Structure 1
Amino acid sequence: MDTNSSYRTPVTLLGLGDMGTALARAWLAAGHPLTVWNRTPGKAEPLVAEGARAVATPAEAVASAAGPVVLCLLDDASVGEALSGTELNGKDVVNLTTNTPAQARQRALWAEERGARFLDGGIMAVPPMIGRPETGGYVFYSGDHELFERHREALAVPAGVKFVGGEPGHAALHDVALLSAMTGMFAGITHAFALIAPEKDIDRARFATLLTEWLGAMAGAAHGIAAQLESGDYTEGVASNLAMMVTGNGTLLDTARGQSVDPRLLTPYMELMRRRVAQGHGDEGLAGTVSLLGGE
């Protein structure tokens, strides 16, 4: 970690796609010496004009690195290809490439075998959020905690940081879990707008306001589900039990048919709820449906 306010940790960045370029500009704006490499060299030119140093190969970038070597590439295969033939012994590798938990664990072992220290990261932001703390973007990190603390100040420049454990796959797991929940939310939003689509006298902007307010109010249910999963008592604090919700689902489906809307975005989850009730758990909340998806 930086201890001298006049010193800025040098950063080496491999990958200058939209996200990589946003990361680069954030570090440059904060005064960090920055070395960059990209498969297409032309993408580095604007950053060189802003103060970055461009190199021709990943091996040259890694060899000259005096701080973290940050990767923001297309996929895990691209990481392996970029680092193939580089000398990683003694280097600090921070992988911000989107990957799976299994890939993160394998890459951590791969780096360790080559004498490198390793952190994996999951970016919970889009490029316009990088370098703008007011947007709330952040990056999950997992792996070598000492390495995280050593470079925390530099890593926190582009976005907030959240360390989620020494298991290298946990950053990717948190990333994908949150994105999966977001995908389910978008499915619900899509279905909601499909329901009102035939009604030309409903103002879409006003409806969007109502929708976001309602979803925000309901999001707190995640805390209740977490508490039930921790305690094992899926009836704890239940206001609307599964039996009631399954009955109410009939109205949702009838309305979809009446509006000529395909309910396929809702029915898989409704089927989980119905199965749980059929197993004799109608007095529970939603936590019990987690077990029907496996993973335990």
Structure 2
Amino acid sequence: MHTGTPVTVLGLGLMGGALAGAFLRAGHPTTVWNRTTAKADDLVARGATLAGSPAAAIAAAPLVVVCVSDYGAVADVLDGPLDGRVVVNLTSGTPSRARALAEEVARRGGGYLDGGIMAVPEAVGTAEAVLAYSGPQPLYDAHESTLGSLGTGLHLGDDPGLSATHEMATLVLMWGMLNGFLNAAAILGTAGVSASAYLPIAQTAIGTVAGWLPGYARQADDGIYPADDGTIDTHLAAMTHVVEECESLGVNVELPRLVKALAERAATAGHRASGYVALVEQFRKP
């Protein structure tokens, strides 16, 4: 039985369909729209209402969740008045575009929350799915319970661009871990060691680094870089060995060279005896 707050979902790709399904399971009357209407068939069979146009879908509910391919598509579907509606945009984009869209929604009479989904579609609707939102706190508070149907919600602040900024930072973090693992797999592959065989050591190393993060975060915030686990010079010696080994093995050496170049710049800037976190100053530069 649908007894919750009515919700509209615009966009029914893998993630949009998962969002609509989670609202349905939580008992929210759910209106959906998608350019390809066949993508709504399963949701309609489960109780969703298919709108004939984005405008009709927007008119059907006070909370409008948008999850489409890009901000150009967002502009296409958010056509017309938004009087009294709260738009929750879960489309990936940049902070500047999120702020501009918030202004446009306000000009047309609506409220705006930007959001990022830190989960795969299969996890949406469970506590494992984390969704980060930014925008006016009162708007988030008013709809926190409904949005909780999608997963664990985090409100990052009133600036609508904060969600996208966090998403950019998290993507860089994930790519850094994944590229490091793949670079390691390429090195080990030359010795006939499979990536699967390396996995226990890799997971232990990632867990060890995760344990360092609270202390590293404080150092980055404070601008003080004690050499608790080795100096930049010590790391540079190891980086030189990795670069030389990659060159001798014939595997790609671009990532190790980049890491070494950043450490060399930190050393030149007076941080030879500092800890590894001193590299944050290099990442802060243009």
Same fold per TM (> 0.5)? yes
Task: Describe the superposition over 1:246-280 as per-residue Cα deviations: whole angstroms up to 9, x where unpaired.
Answer: 11111111221232212112221221111110222
Shift of 1:144: 1.4
Task: Describe the superposition over 1:165-221 as per-residue Cα deviations: whole angstroms up to 9, x where unpaired.
Answer: 111000111111011110011110111000111223x35423112111111111233
1:231 maps to a residue whose letter is D
SS at match of 1:220: helix
State TM-score, norm by structure 1: 0.92
Aligned counterpart for 1:183 among listed residues 158, 166, 175: 175
Does residue 75 (structure 1) correspond to residue 70 (structure 2)? The answer is yes
On the 8 A contact 2:230/2:276 being kept in 1, the answer is: no
In structure 1, the partner of 2:278 is 288
Task: Describe the superposition over 1:64-107 as per-residue Cα deviations: whole angstroms up to 9, x where unpaired.
Answer: 21x310000111111111112x2102111110011111111111
2:146 maps to a residue whose letter is A
CA distance in 2, matches of 1:26, 1:181: 28
In structure 2, the partner of 1:3 is none
C-alpha RMSD over aligned residues:
1.6
In structure 2, the partner of 1:33 is 29
SS at match of 2:271: coil
In structure 2, the partner of 1:217 is 208
Shift of 1:7: 4.2
CA distance in 2, matches of 1:279, 1:55: 60
Aligned counterpart for 1:101 among listed residues 89, 95, 98: 95
Moved over 6 A (4+): none
Shift of 1:222: 2.5
Shift of 1:295: 5.8
CA distance in 2, matches of 1:83, 1:203: 49
On the 8 A contact 1:132/1:159 being kept in 2, the answer is: yes
State TM-score, norm by structure 2: 0.95
1:143 maps to a residue whose letter is G
On the 8 A contact 1:63/1:87 being kept in 2, the answer is: no
CA distance in 1, matches of 2:34, 2:259: 43
Task: Describe the superposition over 1:127-177 as per-residue Cα deviations: whole angstroms up to 9, x where unpaired.
Answer: 1221233xx221110001111111111111122111111110001111110
Does residue 230 (structure 1) correspond to residue 224 (structure 2)? The answer is no
In structure 2, the partner of 1:16 is 12
CA distance in 1, matches of 2:166, 2:76: 26
User: How many corresponding residue pairs?
Assistant: 285
In structure 1, the partner of 2:45 is 49
Does residue 249 (structure 1) correspond to residue 239 (structure 2)? The answer is yes
CA distance in 2, matches of 1:51, 1:274: 60
Counterparts of 1:253-264 in structure 2, within 5 Å, are: 253-264=243-254
CA distance in 2, matches of 1:266, 1:109: 43
Identity %: 36
Shift of 1:44: 1.0
Q: Select between 262-271 and 181-190 the one with higher mean Cα deviation.
A: 262-271
Q: Select between 213-222 and 34-43 the one with higher mean Cα deviation.
A: 213-222
Does residue 116 (structure 1) correspond to residue 110 (structure 2)? The answer is yes
CA distance in 1, matches of 2:199, 2:156: 33
SS at match of 2:254: coil
CA distance in 2, matches of 1:267, 1:198: 19
CA distance in 1, matches of 2:272, 2:215: 17
On the 8 A contact 1:62/1:87 being kept in 2, the answer is: no
